[in-house]
């Protein structure tokens, strides 16, 4: 991934995860597989009426160039091994829900991009971070992590976060969201670990969601080519790399064609994710090294469940995939069945 405000270039690389990963959900809920669980809060914890947690109506307008935008994504998929990957512990994020008494640490701005002018911008987000002793970051160069503290209703995510030998943490970028449960799931520009300024915790698929068979929010999409100089609400910035009006813009919402039979994928997890794509849609959050979607890093989960990675059993319970390549289960969902919505779809006041 790369994060960039219009006046800031915060380079981040995202590539396809070839290893496994996930962690505890922000607010996991029970429910029978495939059915809407009865609870008042969405699993991502953000505002009910925000862009992530609002169901799409049965009939929505499509972008005039929807077919061309989807064709661009198809081309990206074909040019990058023909897969739709699921990023877990590599180029994703662990998610930590921390208690009131978690030790607070003042993090340091690492300035890995030699941009000292950004120090005062991120300083408030680093000033008092509840930092659990078992905090880890994603594998890969993003080194992302996500923290939520219910007692203060505050959320943080960070990019290129690192702990030194003395136990002190630093980050090159990221941000803090106060009054988390009332926030629609958008960082103030230019904060946030993703290129689009959209919180990792808003869209990352939780293990608990796949276990129960229901996702109650929009998920994300990362593609190799995003339109240069273009972002769509709810994104606040972009790191687009390709000119062309038919290249998708970061923040643009897509959905899976309602006519697609979501019972078609043989993976139960793919079926769960497909239903979320139809009900809530996908939002383009980053430019990366392949067509991918993010699910949480499993290592915190493994730490409390005997070291067992839950993903293989969730993704490929019948061992149908060759070489255990469960991270490619989304390839069972045809990219050709996606539909692009108009830019700034759902923006308040439009």
Is residue 287 within 8 Å of 235, Cβ to Cβ? no
Across the chain, how many H-helices and E-strands are there? 7, 15
Tokens of 316: 């490929």
Edge-first strand order for the sheet with 108-109 is 108-109, 169-171, 162-163
Tens digit of each residue's pLDDT, the chain (350 residues) = 333 332 233 333 333 332 223 333 343 333 333 444 444 567 889 999 899 999 999 899 999 999 999 999 999 999 999 999 999 989 999 999 999 999 999 999 999 999 999 999 999 999 999 999 999 999 999 999 999 999 999 999 999 999 999 999 999 999 999 999 999 999 999 999 999 999 999 999 999 999 999 999 999 999 999 999 999 999 999 999 999 999 999 999 999 999 999 999 999 999 999 999 999 999 999 999 999 999 999 999 999 999 999 999 999 999 888 777 999 999 999 999 999 999 999 999 87
Q: What angle do CA 204, 38, 201 make, to 5 degrees?
A: 15
Neighbours of 239 (CB within 10 A): 22
Rounded to two decimals, the pTM is 0.89
Tell the burial category of 21 from Cβ atoms under 10 Å away from its Cβ (0-12, 13-18, 19+). buried
- Report d(CA 148, CA 180) in Å as an integer: 9
Query: Residue 312 is inside which H or E element, if any?
Result: helix 311-315
Query: Residue 170 is inside which H or E element, if any?
Result: strand 169-171
pLDDT single digits (tens) 4-28: 332 233 333 333 332 223 333 343 3
């Amino acid at each position: 991934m790369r994060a960039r405000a219009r006046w800031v270039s915060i380079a981040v690389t995202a590539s396809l995860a070839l290893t496994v990963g996930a962690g505890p959900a922000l607010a996991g809920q029970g429910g029978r597989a495939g059915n809407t669980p009865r609870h008042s809060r969405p699993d991502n914890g953000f505002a009910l009426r925000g862009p992530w947690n609002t169901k799409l109506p049965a009939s929505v307008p499509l972008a005039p160039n929807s077919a061309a935008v989807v064709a661009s994504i198809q081309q990206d998929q074909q040019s990058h091994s023909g897969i739709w990957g699921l990023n877990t512990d590599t180029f994703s994020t662990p998610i930590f829900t921390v208690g009131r008494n978690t030790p607070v640490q003042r993090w340091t701005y690492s300035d890995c991009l030699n941009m000292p002018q950004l120090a005062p911008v991120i300083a408030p987000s680093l000033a008092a971070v509840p930092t659990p002793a078992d905090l880890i970051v994603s594998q890969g160069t993003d080194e992302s992590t996500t923290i939520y503290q219910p007692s203060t209703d505050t959320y943080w995510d960070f990019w290129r976060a690192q702990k030194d030998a003395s136990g002190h943490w630093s980050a090159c970028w990221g941000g803090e969201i106060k009054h988390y449960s009332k926030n629609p799931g958008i960082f103030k520009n230019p904060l946030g670990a993703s290129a689009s300024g959209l919180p990792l915790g808003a869209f990352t698929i939780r293990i608990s969601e796949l276990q129960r068979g229901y996702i109650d929010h929009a998920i994300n999409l990362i593609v190799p080519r995003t339109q240069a100089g273009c972002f769509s609400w709810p994104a606040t910035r972009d790191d687009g790399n390709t000119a062309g009006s038919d290249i998708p813009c970061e923040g643009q919402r897509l959905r899976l064609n309602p006519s697609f039979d979501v019972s078609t994928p043989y993976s139960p997890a793919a079926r769960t994710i497909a239903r979320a794509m139809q009900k809530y849609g996908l939002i383009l959050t980053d430019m990366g090294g392949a067509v991918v979607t993010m699910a949480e890093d499993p290592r915190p989960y493994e730490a409390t469940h005997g070291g067992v990675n839950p993903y293989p059993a969730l993704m490929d319970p019948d061992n149908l995939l060759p070489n255990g390549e469960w991270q490619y289960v989304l390839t069972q969902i045809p990219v050709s069945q996606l539909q692009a919505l108009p830019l700034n779809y759902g923006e308040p006041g439009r």
